[in-house]
Amino acid sequence: MSSMQFGIFSVSDITTDPTTGKTPTENDRIKAATAMALKAEEVGLDVFAIGEHHNPPFFSSSPTTTLAYIAAQTEKLILSTATTLITTNDPVKIAEDYAMLQHLSDGRMDLTLGRGNTGPVYPWFGYDIRDGISLAVDHYALLRELWDKEVVNWTGKHRSPLTGFTSTPAPLDGIAPFVWHGSIRSPQIAEQAAYYGDGFLHNNIFWNPEHTAQMIQLYRKRFAHYGHGEPEQAIVGLGGQAFMAETEAEAKKLFRPYFDKAPVYGNGPSLEDFSTLTPLTVGTPEMVIERTLGFQKWAGDYQRQMFLMDHAGLPLEMVLDQIEMLGKEVVPVLRQEFDRMRAPGVPDAPTHAARVEAKQAESTRAGEQQVRDDVDTGAAISRQNGE
């Protein structure tokens, strides 16, 4: 694996194919998620992520179930979330579910925390959307304690206190899952990621580079402020979106009907305008390579690049072909070029194995320092005693 991770994410929408009028069933789309993940591993991608939604027209209400099922059928793929709702989920349940996934996948997982984009989800789970930021901050503070401490005593604003509580299972190897904080518009979340020294993932598929760069710069600056390292050492992830064919004209012809009717941006800007304003690239693999490499100019060196490939009613066969092109034609070039451009001292993308190794090295250094301190203390006592 190179110093960067490349993968795909799904927002788990169920959308009618505008070219055939066929609407996949929930079962079709649930099974498609597994097929996409298996294809991602087959073609050498590093990460598969799925979102969390609790309302139609989405199917992904239980991402850990889906990801554990995929983990059982894969060997190298990192399983992640495009969003885990830190606001409306109980942090105790997040701690338990994702630690369980960590054990089942042998550490091949992480998660991206977010607030989601569906307002009604808050009352469904007994919360108020006006508390969104406060819930994200409060709930994450508890989640960290649940993973980092064996026994937790905690009082917060939004849930009942905990007294002498132990979350089970404990994190694998004593290392909590790596957390990305996902946000597209909230500086408070960039601040939260920086405060804890966690990753910051800006899913910039709807945003112009200027806005995304501003959020990343804020996170990097505050990461350094909190003493986690230089701004360049902060852990950054980006979203992306592509549709490819042998020629640009063919790609646009195939993708335009889906774009025009897409639930999120359909009936809005034209395909050409949207492609200019956002990272969406509809064209040849070479065009996707060139566009993606350009992200480094305004984002700096970063660790994870995710692509949205399966939405707006695209049939599974077409999505699998897109993943094949991404893995075989695009990502090998991106790996090589991003590694070549990378400045010295920029950290690699986080993995469980690397974090276990770092913890063991830190423990060894601490032990060696303690021995030196003990020797120095013994020598000082000897001098005082005139020995």
Say what the pLDDT of residue 387 is.
Answer: 64
Assign residue 70 the CATH number of its domain. 3.20.20.30
Pair 173, 321 in one domain: yes
Pair 208, 132 in one domain: yes
How far apart CA 29 and CA 316 sit, in angstroms, is: 9
Pair 219, 325 in one domain: yes
Q: Where in the sequence is the domain holding 360, given as residue range(s)?
A: 351-387
How far apart CA 220 and CA 200 sit, in angstroms, is: 9
Pair 358, 326 in one domain: no
Q: Which amino acid is at 81?
A: T
**Mean pLDDT, 10 residues at a time, over the chain (387 residues)?**
88 95 98 98 98 94 98 98 94 98 98 85 91 93 98 95 98 98 88 97 87 96 98 97 98 97 85 93 98 97 97 97 98 98 96 94 80 72 70
How far apart CA 196 and CA 174 sit, in angstroms, is: 17
How far apart CA 74 and CA 67 sit, in angstroms, is: 10
Say what the pLDDT of residue 40 is.
Answer: 98
The residue to which tokens 């992200």 are assigned: 295
Say what the pLDDT of residue 2 is.
Answer: 62
How far apart CA 230 and CA 224 sit, in angstroms, is: 5
Number of domains in the chain: 2
Residue 156, classified by CB atoms within 10 Å of its CB into exposed (0-12), middle (13-18) or buried (19+), is middle
Say what the pLDDT of residue 371 is.
Answer: 72
Instruction: Enumerate residues 6+ apart whose C-beta is below 8 A from 193.
Output: 180, 181, 199, 200, 219, 223
How far apart CA 35 and CA 288 sit, in angstroms, is: 23
CB 213 within 8 A of CB 253: no
Pair 114, 18 in one domain: yes
Pair 238, 376 in one domain: no
How far apart CA 290 and CA 9 sit, in angstroms, is: 21
Pair 97, 210 in one domain: yes
Nearest to 136 by CA among 181, 71, 197: 181
How far apart CA 358 and CA 352 sit, in angstroms, is: 10
Pair 357, 295 in one domain: no
Pair 234, 380 in one domain: no
- What helix, strand, coil percent values describe the chain, rounded to 5? 50, 15, 35
For helices 285-293 and 331-341, the axis angle rounded to 10 degrees is 20
Pair 343, 371 in one domain: no
Say what the pLDDT of residue 50 is.
Answer: 97
Pair 165, 20 in one domain: yes
Alpha-carbon dihedral angle through residues 195, 198, 199, 200, given to the nearest 10 degrees: -30
* DSSP code of residue 348: P
Question: How far apart are the two ends of the chain, measured CA to CA in Å?
Answer: 57
How far apart CA 23 and CA 273 sit, in angstroms, is: 28
Pair 86, 210 in one domain: yes
Q: Which amino acid is at 123?
A: P
